[in-house]
Amino acid sequence: MGYTGTYKGKEISVLGSGLGIPSIGIYSYELFNFYGVENIIRIGSAGAISTDLHIGDVVIGMGACTDSNYPSQFGMPGTFAPIASYPLLKQAVAAAEELGYNYSVGNILSSDVFYTEDPDCLKKWQKMGVLAVEMESAGLYCNAARAGKNALCLLTISDCPFTGEATTAEERQTKFTQMMEIALRLG
């Protein structure tokens, strides 16, 4: 499902990407390669891994660690590190600063697993300085890199597995607007 319209005179399309790397992998591949889209900015919720993050904070995903096998399809002779496009990242930081929003920039985790059998899984990522966990950005960043296009992930913290803090579905639906306001200033 998608919508196209204008915002302050600029054409903007808003599309659902589905859940997980396979879903966003299909959508972003087609948008970049079949429809000539130059910039994709993913917005969504994330769980805090860093104890410095709190409900409602914005995270700008500079890099996307992953437990997914998605990057292996590119046949790299090593481990590919999916990262955001710097021009979009720079614009997002400037927009967050201008708007006065509380934000963090850094590595996020794109996981294929929502419920894990390893109770220490997120603690291991935390030790490596990873800020938050979500399920799509690594696939998006891989596809953008391969297509020579731009991608960025903007997240709002919806919960913290370490503290038990969590938002309601209604709060996620109505109050997570800061990442959207940042995204609308990009590109």
User: Distance (Å, rounded) from C-alpha 111 to C-alpha 47?
Assistant: 11
Structurally, the chain folds into a number of domains equal to 1
- 124 C-beta neighbours (distance < 10 Å), count: 11
Report the pLDDT value the prediction gives residue 164, as an integer from 0 to 100.
87
pTM for the predicted model, two decimal places: 0.94
Report the pLDDT value the prediction gives residue 172, as an integer from 0 to 100.
82
- Residues 6+ away with beta carbon under 8 Å from 78: none
Report the pLDDT value the prediction gives residue 171, as an integer from 0 to 100.
85
Report the pLDDT value the prediction gives residue 118, as an integer from 0 to 100.
87
Burial of 72 per CB tally in 10 Å (0-12, 13-18, 19+): exposed
pLDDT in tens, 23-65: 999 999 999 999 999 999 999 999 999 999 999 999 999 999 9
Residue 89 has pLDDT above 80, yes or no: yes
pLDDT in tens, 103-159: 999 999 999 988 888 889 899 999 999 999 999 999 999 999 999 999 999 999 999
Q: Which residues are catalytically annotated? A: 159
Report the pLDDT value the prediction gives residue 32, as an integer from 0 to 100.
97
Report the pLDDT value the prediction gives residue 167, as an integer from 0 to 100.
87
Find the CATH number of the domain harbouring 154.
3.40.50.1580
Mean pLDDT for the stretch of residues 13-21: 88
Q: What residue numbers bound the domain in which 160 lies? A: 2-183
Report the pLDDT value the prediction gives residue 1, as an integer from 0 to 100.
77
Query: b vs e for 145-170, b when ≥16 Cβ sit within 10 Å of the residue's Cβ?
Result: bebebbbbbbbbbbbbeeeeeebeee
What is the three-class DSSP state of 75? coil
Which pLDDT band holds residue 174 (cuts at 50, 70, 90)?
A: confident
